[in-house]
Structure 1
Amino acid sequence: MGRMHSRGKGISASALPYKRTPPSWLKISAQDVDDSICKFAKKGLTPSQIGVILRDSHGIAQVRSVTGNQILRILKAHANGISGTESIVWQRNGTESIVFVAVLYINVRSLIIRQVRGARTEPILVYDLIVLLVFVRIGLAPEIPEDLYHLIKKAVAIRKHLERNRKDKDSKFRLILVESRIHRLARYYKKTKKLAPVWKYESSTASTLVA
């Protein structure tokens, strides 16, 4: 596949196992894998880091072949009170606080709009419900999608480098390319409801997102 900002074609690709069924020697159950994923997520590990640990330490080449779901979907399901493999369980840690913040946001925003525009609050309430759905879907999953997070982290590192080396023109050019990818990816995630519609990348506050 052609590269976005270079002339090369690239040979990097994922190497999925040929057999999509779990091997016969794997004795771990889907519920145990589910619990391990949530335990690692609560320690602050990203979905890709969790997948590496499960592959190298537990012999699980592909989580989807064991549980029927991807790691990210399992984390989102647990956050919304749905077990990733078997039953519906209300997870009180995290979910109630997310819903409380989202509902508080809706009430305050609607109150402000009502004072400014009068009784015409229906359009803004629809917009707020979209924000609420985005908040509730986050849960144990990373607040920012992992690929977007690493692009922001790279942009922050380049900016720190430019503070020490102001005449580095190549880094200035690379920063433009990285930030253009950030804006393009953020636009896609807003369209697919994986980011809140009000989310915006700003270089001045980007370091707080990856701190």
Structure 2
Amino acid sequence: MARMHTRRRGSSGSDKPATDENPEWSDVDAEDIESRVVELAEQGHDPSVIGIKLRDEGVKGVPVPDVKLATGKKVTEILEEHDAEPDLPEDLRNLLARAVRLREHMAENGQDYQNKRALQNTESKIRRLADYYRGDELAEDFTYTYENAAELLEE
């Protein structure tokens, strides 16, 4: 797949193993996994970090290689069921944080043209994602501005 803002092709990534059942060595109860997911979300972790922590630390010392295979639900679905989902989608929050950092850098370093271009690309991605999420996860009248982004990240 090609990258959005370059002329190069993307590098291939790793694929998950083609299996449809949880390994027998990871016999953690689905309810324990769900309670651990909610606990990690309340500590302020994003869904991707929750998956990594479950893979590495596990539940009660037993690693969970794949939450969806073990519980039948994705991490975000578990969070929605327990009303613990984040206020912004993780990908949009990360892009907003990057744009705020770049904008602050550009205020101090006005001649940094590479970062000016990076800021333009990041803001373009934010607008595209905002169109995708508008109405569901975002308010219908949401428009991206630096002030909006800084305010959303402070919450």
Q: Same fold (TM over 0.5)?
A: yes
| Residue 196 (str. 1) matches residue 103 (str. 2) | no
- Which has more radius of gyration? 1
| One-letter amino acid of the counterpart of residue 23, structure 2 | P
Alpha-carbon distance in structure 1 between the residues aligned to 2:64 and 2:3: 31
Divergent runs of 4+, >4 A: none
Aligned to 1:210: 153
The 8 Å contact of residues 151 and 178 in structure 1, kept in 2 or not, is answered as: yes
Alpha-carbon distance in structure 2 between the residues aligned to 1:200 and 1:41: 27
Deviation at 1:61, TM superposition (A): 1.6
Aligned to 2:28: 28
For 1:5-49, what per-residue CA distance to the aligned partner results, in whole angstroms no more than 9, with x for missing partners?
Answer: 011211243531222211111121000000000000011111001
The 8 Å contact of residues 28 and 64 in structure 2, kept in 1 or not, is answered as: no
- Out of 68, 75, 81, the residue aligned to residue 79 of structure 2 is 75
For 1:154-202, what per-residue CA distance to the aligned partner results, in whole angstroms no more than 9, with x for missing partners?
Answer: 10111111111011122112211110110110001115x2322133321
| Residue 158 (str. 1) matches residue 102 (str. 2) | yes
The structure where helix makes up a greater share of residues is 1
| One-letter amino acid of the counterpart of residue 76, structure 2 | L
The 8 Å contact of residues 17 and 61 in structure 1, kept in 2 or not, is answered as: no
Aligned residue-pair number: 150
Identity percentage of aligned residues: 37
Alpha-carbon distance in structure 2 between the residues aligned to 1:55 and 1:63: 9
TM-score scaled by length of structure 2:
0.90
Aligned to 2:117: 173
Residue 134 of structure 2 aligns to a residue whose secondary structure is helix
Alpha-carbon distance in structure 1 between the residues aligned to 2:12 and 2:131: 25
Aligned pairs for 1:132-143 (under 5 A) are 140-143=84-87
Alpha-carbon distance in structure 1 between the residues aligned to 2:148 and 2:74: 31
| One-letter amino acid of the counterpart of residue 74, structure 1 | I
| One-letter amino acid of the counterpart of residue 3, structure 1 | R
Alpha-carbon distance in structure 1 between the residues aligned to 2:137 and 2:7: 31
- When structure 1 is superposed on structure 2, of 30-39 and 10-19 the one drifting more is 10-19
Aligned to 1:148: 92
Alpha-carbon distance in structure 2 between the residues aligned to 1:144 and 1:50: 16
| One-letter amino acid of the counterpart of residue 16, structure 2 | L
CA root-mean-square deviation = 1.4
For 1:118-163, what per-residue CA distance to the aligned partner results, in whole angstroms no more than 9, with x for missing partners?
Answer: xxxxxxxxxxxxxxxxxxxxxx111111011111111011111111
Which blocks of at least 5 consecutive residues in structure 2 are unaligned?
none
| One-letter amino acid of the counterpart of residue 148, structure 2 | T
The 8 Å contact of residues 190 and 197 in structure 1, kept in 2 or not, is answered as: yes
| One-letter amino acid of the counterpart of residue 38, structure 2 | C
Alpha-carbon distance in structure 2 between the residues aligned to 1:34 and 1:182: 31
